[in-house]
């Protein structure tokens, strides 16, 4: 049974080695699972050939479009562009680097049908990143729990399925840089009593390119945003 409508987007920064395979795989799966669908690549100021590769893919498939940032806005800015430009009832996103298997989107759709959730969010069954990044995420999740009471296995897992109504009704997302954007989304959704369920997803080693976003500057920026959000929500 197909989902009625689905928008899918991929945030991409310097992913020339991965973006073609990611887009083509999703384009082969989407017609099988959705009656109406679109795909968006958010080219976040890439300095390589990511944009050129996507333009060639768009020529072959008009259901694909690209949003280009210039200059780079960061992961939060890329997620905002994808979420606020998606047209359909359900929105899914995952990373463009090929570390997730997009075919697992069928598990997300089935989980939503079983639970009637508004957000189905992935958690890593085994995360393929350096040890220090795993512990950094655990510390971050503890901070979010202590400040907001949000208990999630993997706040920052980059594979989610979201009812568009959630994005339309929660206060506008503001985070641009840092690990804060996913936390902001879930904190605001929880506060408005949208139903969140979790689903385990496989994670694969990166085959090409380099991950970004794990610097101390980025982490401290995110912590600053967390404290600002807590103050703002307490004032409401």
HEC-encoded secondary structure of 200-221: EECCCCCCCCCCCCCCHHHHHH
CATH superfamily of 3-235: Spore Coat Polysaccharide Biosynthesis Protein SpsA; Chain A (3.90.550.10)
pLDDT at 177: 63
CA distance linking residue 189 with residue 184, whole number of Å: 8
Distance CA 28, CA 167 (A): 27
- pLDDT for res 209: 47
Summarised one tens digit per residue, pLDDT across range 105-155 is 999 999 999 999 999 999 988 665 555 555 666 677 777 777 888 888 888
pLDDT digits (tens, 9 = 90+) for 44-68: 999 999 999 999 999 999 999 999 9
135 vs 173, which has greater pLDDT?
A: 173
Average pLDDT, the chain: 87
Indicate whether 27 pLDDT > 80.
Answer: yes
Residue 62: per-residue pLDDT: 94
- Using an 8 Å Cβ cutoff, are 78 and 11 in contact? yes
Report the distance separating Cα 210 and Cα 205, nearest Å. Answer: 11
**pLDDT average, residue stretch 205-221:** 57
Instruction: Give the H or E element holding residue 231.
Output: helix 216-235
Q: Is 234 exposed, middle or buried (0-12, 13-18, 19+ CB in 10 A)?
A: exposed
Q: Name 64's bridge partners.
A: 39
Mean per-residue pLDDT, 187-201: 95
Kindly tell me if the per-residue pLDDT of 92 is higher than 90: yes
**Which residue has better confidence, 35 or 74?**
35
Higher pLDDT, 138 or 26: 26
Name the helix (H) or strand (E) containing 83: helix 75-85
With vertex at residue 202, the alpha carbon angle to CA 95 and CA 221, rounded to the nearest 5 degrees, is 45
Map out the domains of the chain as residue ranges: 3-235
Least confident stretch, 84-98, 135-149, 157-171: 135-149
Task: Say whether pLDDT at 15 is over 90.
Answer: yes
Local confidence band at 194 (pLDDT 50, 70, 90 cut-offs):
very high
Structure confidence at residue 175 as a pLDDT band (50, 70, 90): confident
Burial of 149 (0-12, 13-18, 19+ CB in 10 A): exposed
3-class DSSP assignment, residue 181 = helix
Beta strand residue intervals within the chain, DSSP E: 3-12, 34-44, 64-69, 90-94, 119-124, 159-163, 196-201
Least confident of 2-11, 141-150, 184-193: 141-150
pLDDT at 1: 74
Residue 106 has φ and ψ, to the nearest 5°, of -65, -35
Tell me what pLDDT residue 226 has: 74
- The torsion of the CA quartet 10, 38, 195, 180, rounded to 10 degrees, works out to 20
Q: Which residues sit opposite 201 in a β-bridge?
A: 124
Instruction: For residue 90, report the phi and psi dihedrals to the nearest 5 degrees.
Output: -120, 145
């Amino acid at each position: 049974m197909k989902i009625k409508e689905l928008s899918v987007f991929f945030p991409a920064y310097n992913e020339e080695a991965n973006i073609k395979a990611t887009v083509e795989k999703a384009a082969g799966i989407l017609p099988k699972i959705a009656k109406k669908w679109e795909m968006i690549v958010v080219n976040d100021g890439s300095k390589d050939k990511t944009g050129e590769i996507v333009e060639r893919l768009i020529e072959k498939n008009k259901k694909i479009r690209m949003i280009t940032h210039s200059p780079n806005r960061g992961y939060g800015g890329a997620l905002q562009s994808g979420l606020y430009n998606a047209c359909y009832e359900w929105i899914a996103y995952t990373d463009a680097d090929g570390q997730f298997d997009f075919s697992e989107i069928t598990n997300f759709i089935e989980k939503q049908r079983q639970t009637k959730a508004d957000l189905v969010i992935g958690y890593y069954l085994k995360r393929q990143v350096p040890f220090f990044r795993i512990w950094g995420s655990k510390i971050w999740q503890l901070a979010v729990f202590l400040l907001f009471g949000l208990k999630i296995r993997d706040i920052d897992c980059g594979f989610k399925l979201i009812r568009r109504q959630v994005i339309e009704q929660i206060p506008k997302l503001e985070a641009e840089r840092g690990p804060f954007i996913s936390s902001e989304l879930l904190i605001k959704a929880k506060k408005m009593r949208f139903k969140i369920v979790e689903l385990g997803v496989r994670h694969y080693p990166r085959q090409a390119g380099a991950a970004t976003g794990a610097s101390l500057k980025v982490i401290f920026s995110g912590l600053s945003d967390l404290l600002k959000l807590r103050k703002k929500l307490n004032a409401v």
